[in-house]
Structure 1
């Protein structure tokens, strides 16, 4: 009798530990929560599309076709070009030539963070991609205030700018405050008809969100005072910011071009079996720029800022010299008087 009870107890324990619906171990499937039967209905993950597989193969051998990329990209759709640009950035292959070859007029986001893109490539891409709304230039050591100044002239719809991340990029961001402020230029033309449109207004008119994670206190105060409409480092909130919903492009914890390559195998940007590590923002202990480099950047920024003023002054001097020449030249003055007398006689004769 005792043995029967012992056997029944063992059987009861076995049945108690028995899971009739164990979690699925099949690859490419995830369990669906069910109110009565949890884990009963598995849902298979959608396999990558043929296009994604093909883009992955191209991206894995991207360095072999870079020399002919300008001709190859001519017949590629805009989304494929953007995916190749994202892969090139992850493989440390994105530079001016690659960006210019892939740039498309329909792009609304552009991520060149941590790449070798310089002012030249950024300006030429901005001339093509005029509908860009979100741009990431963080950790780009070759992009200066000159490139950003030309960028805001061509991309009038730019709403989100991501910058900083390294000493050089931080220094460039500090020098861009005057570029972002819309204002009337001080002009000395003789009449409104002589004014150029580009001399009347400047600045990033549509810029609303600035993502600069390691912004210094002084720069933050300057932006808050001079550009109150630009929100620096916005945070996600169900209520939005000042009644405006923060776009996903302006959130600090996202990578701008991740959505472009979400269906592509990450092994695409793996080189010789070693995954390329993402560039991480430097810590606060990163070395600052040298004093000589700061002076050089300051001089370059001042020279670029004063170049339009010098050109405008040169045009004014030319016009004034022409007027003075007419007043000082006896022959020219006599011709003007003769013309006036001729007009007067003709008006009387009529």
Structure 2
């Protein structure tokens, strides 16, 4: 939950982080940049500059669907530095199908590719470019399965989409779909909601990244959404031990948290944790002291108590009965 809280704080200050530039964002791990990419795409802040700053070489999935502000050159430049990418959504973007061979060389581990928003002519070009990136299956080859043929041809080619298994393309044209099926029958092209792989009996076999009904960045978006201010206010009341503070106190706490800057929130969180740790350490120190006193003899205990300023003879209060 602490990671979700930190991610939520960063997401609320996304514009400030982008303005700070690479000097600050380069310090963040990819597990924090991925949720920020999801926020940028869903809020319309995904530009070429934002993508260049947030794209991390350790990313395994990237969702750029309907990021209208991105240019082809910006997408190509960012994706070229993601060698570990396994899932990519280019639906309704400015990415040009002719650049798919370059994408194949940059992302050889890609397993799921999402396309969409292409007209009839660009769709034919995309299908042709995609076939050039896939291992060729020669009719003269003999093997037990399509996978064996693909593996053999991939070794011969030495490059391309050697790991690509799924192409999610809901609006693929019949001509492009037939072309892909004719030349690459082992490639699973999910082209319609009634595709056999989307049936309830077989859906469990489908990777989450290949499910057209779930956005590719959904897991990262959920990580950001799990933090809410009401839960933070409840935690503040619990730490303060003021169970009777009521809703007004909670609202004021939430309002105060909203107005704080990112650095101030982290400072307050650190100070709050340090205070709790100090209380626990003091309590443990007293326990250790009492345990040590019980283990001492009578003379040693009296000497230790005297050193700490504890009176050896406890006087009774005047009004206390004998």
- TM-score normalised per structure 1: 0.52
Query: Which structure 1 segments of 5+ residues have no match?
Result: 1-48, 185-198, 269-350
**Can you list the C-alpha shifts for 1:212-255, whole angstroms capped at 9, x where unaligned?**
011111111001001112111052357659xx932111111110
8 Å contact from structure 2 (residues 133, 161) kept in 1? yes
How many angstroms does 1:55 deviate by? 2.3
Q: 1:158 aligns with which of 110, 121, 129?
A: 110
CA deviations over 1:139-184 (Å, ceiling 9, x no partner): 10x2102432211111111110011135497566345333333249
Say whether the 8 Å CA contact 2:85–2:107 is kept in structure 1: yes
Q: 2:99 aligns with which of 116, 130, 147?
A: 147
CA drift of 1:124 comes to 2.9
Residue 127 of structure 2 contacts residue 179 of structure 2 at CA under 8 Å; is this kept in 1?
A: no
**Could you tell me how far apart the structure 2 residues matched to 1:239 and 1:205 are?**
28
Q: Distance in 2 between matches of 1:221 and 1:251?
A: 21
Task: Write the deviation string for residues 258-282 of structure 1: whole angstroms up to 9, x where unpaired.
Answer: 10121323999xxxxxxxxxxxxxx
2:46 maps to 1:105: no
CA distance in 2, matches of 1:112, 1:246: 21
Mapped partners of 2:73, 2:132: distance in 1: 18
The structure with more helix, counted as a fraction of residues: 2
Q: Does the CA contact (< 8 Å) of 1:120 and 1:147 recur in 2?
A: no
Contiguous gaps of at least 5 residues in structure 2: 138-155, 229-322
1:206 is aligned to: 163
Corresponding residue number in structure 1 for 2:45: 93
Q: Contact (CA 8 Å) 1:183, 1:201: kept in 2 or not?
A: no
The farther-off stretch of 57-66 and 207-216 is: 57-66
TM-aligned CA deviation for residue 84 of structure 1: 0.5
Query: Please, what TM-score do these two structures have when normalized by structure 2?
Result: 0.56
Q: Secondary structure at the match of 2:80?
A: helix
**CA-to-partner distance for each residue in 1:165-210, whole Å, 9 max, x for gaps?**
35497566345333333249xxxxxxxxxxxxxx955532211101
